[in-house]
Amino acid sequence: MATQRKSRPHSRSAPKKSGAQAGKKPAPSERPERPLREDLVLQACLEAYGSVRHEGRMADRALDFTLRRKANLYSNERRAVAERVYGLLRRQRTVDFLLSRAHPRFGGLETSRQDVLRLAASRVLYGEPHGLVARQSALTPPDAQALAALPEAAAALEALPAKERFPIAASLPDFLADRFLQTFGRDAARAAEAMNERAPLVARANLLKGDRDALAQRLTAEKVDVKPTPLSPLGLVLETRINAFSLESFRAGLLELQDEGSQLLGMLVDAPPTRVVDACAGAGGKTLQLAAQMKNRGDLHALDVDERRMEDLKKRARRAGVHNVRTQLIPHEGPEADAALTPLKGKADRVLVDAPCSGTGTFRRKPDARYRLTPEDLEMHVGRQKALLARFATLVKPGGRLIYGTCSVLREENEGVVEDFLARHPDFTVKPVAELLGPELGEKVGAGPYLRLAPHTHGTDGFFGAVLVRAK
């Protein structure tokens, strides 16, 4: 049975103290972690997982709601809950197939018993011994036997015809499995496997307050192990399992949590200290990156339709020491939306349209999103992306640049949208990303004129980026 890397909570032992340190209380990251209280962890997992799969809540909100009510859990237990719930959501379809083969009465079991088995089977798939998992999950003998039978069930999965096997092994709905095959071809299985891995925790150095090396030194002093991101010159991978929001470096605005792929998309903007528009700013991760590119000079207009996210952006900007951002809440669509943009028409040197999308590039972080997406949703996204790109293109001045990006890996949301736009707007042409990122980096992140990233090829989330230049 194929397995992935183990997803057990990281354990760190406290170093020996010198005489001078004997009276000091060890830092949180230096204390040995307590053994997991498996009964409490399992109960929290069942509550969070049930909220997602049986009540329709989004995974991050369900986990946040559950863990806020579980104040008695240790930090490593909270991590275990999150890892196990996310791990199961990533492998949901695979787990259900295997259990339906390994347990003769799985479909007829009471829901909570099914969920206990699902959580246990997922842990085995991620490399934990089935005997240990069965004991920690307090499984009945028949249920424990089902865990032991998972290799035979996996062999049955491998024996299926390729077209039938791929959606189950990839744990994707059939229509998304078809899209993955169209997008990645022979690499589809590898791409889906990488989507089912746990994503790294990546920070971007806030260049307004120091470079990456300085941030690395600061984090090391805070007992956080880091390594540079291989592609982005701005990023660090945080290898120590810790709540990054509790770090003094974070509170001081020295870093933002931002995937390396997102950082590379932000780099394509190459924002000058003049007038720049972040047209779908959201909570402002890329907005703050652009502010640093602009060295806090010029006018950076952050637009969005969500008032709550605009408020989040303002708070983040204050923490980051950003002063050149002008936030603007705009209507969703229609004449009111066009009217709100009138003062900026034809005046921006750069316009970034990081468009709302299917999120297929972020399944590592939002594994439940794959089960919510429908073909109709995908069609809706494509229509909205074309409309947004056309609307915000009007803000670009002659000679300026329009940067289109998504966190999708699907061609219809990426190259398809750009090709449709270029056919309707002959005054725009494509600028190859290698001309902006340099030939060495450009070759790594896009074989053609576009930025195209995926977990199995770059270790980042899936991202697409295109730079379109308006004729002078």
* Amino acid present at 147: L
- State pLDDT tens for residues 385-431: 999 999 999 999 999 999 999 999 999 999 999 999 999 999 999 99
- Rounded CA separation 6/124 (Å): 9
Average pLDDT, the chain: 91
pTM (2 decimals)? 0.88
Q: Which residues contact 256 (CB under 8 A, 6 or more apart)?
A: 203, 204, 206, 285, 288, 289, 316, 320
304 among annotated binding-site residues: yes
283 pLDDT tier (thresholds 50, 70, 90): confident
Of 45, 280, 357, 407, catalytic: 407
Q: What is the average pLDDT across 211-228?
A: 96
354 among annotated binding-site residues: yes
Residue 144 has pLDDT above 90, yes or no: yes
Kindly give the interhelix angle for 75-90 and 92-102, rounded to the nearest 10 degrees: 80
**What pLDDT was estimated at residue 439?**
87
Q: Which of 20-24, 354-358, 368-372 has the lowest mean pLDDT?
A: 20-24
- State pLDDT tens for residues 324-361: 999 999 998 888 888 899 999 999 999 999 999 999 99
- State pLDDT tens for residues 28-70: 444 567 899 999 999 999 999 999 999 989 999 999 999 999 9
Q: Which residues contact 471 (CB under 8 A, 6 or more apart)?
A: 398, 399, 427, 428, 429
Counting residues of the chain whose pLDDT is more than 90, the rounded percentage is 85
Q: What is the average pLDDT across 144-161?
A: 95
- Of the candidates 65, 69, 63, 57, the one whose C-alpha atom is nearest the C-alpha of residue 82 is 63
Which domains occur in the chain, in start order?
38-159 (1.10.940), 197-257 (3.30.70.1170), 259-470 (3.40.50.150)
**What pLDDT was estimated at residue 442?**
87
Residue 18 has pLDDT above 70, yes or no: no
Q: Is 45 a catalytic residue?
A: no
Kindly give the interhelix angle for 111-125 and 75-90, rounded to the nearest 10 degrees: 90
Q: Which of 21-25, 284-288, 350-354 has the lowest mean pLDDT?
A: 21-25
**What pLDDT was estimated at residue 25?**
45
Residue 242 has pLDDT above 80, yes or no: yes
Q: What is the average pLDDT across 230-248?
A: 94
Residue tagged 């995937």 (tokens):
259
303: helix, coil or strand?
strand
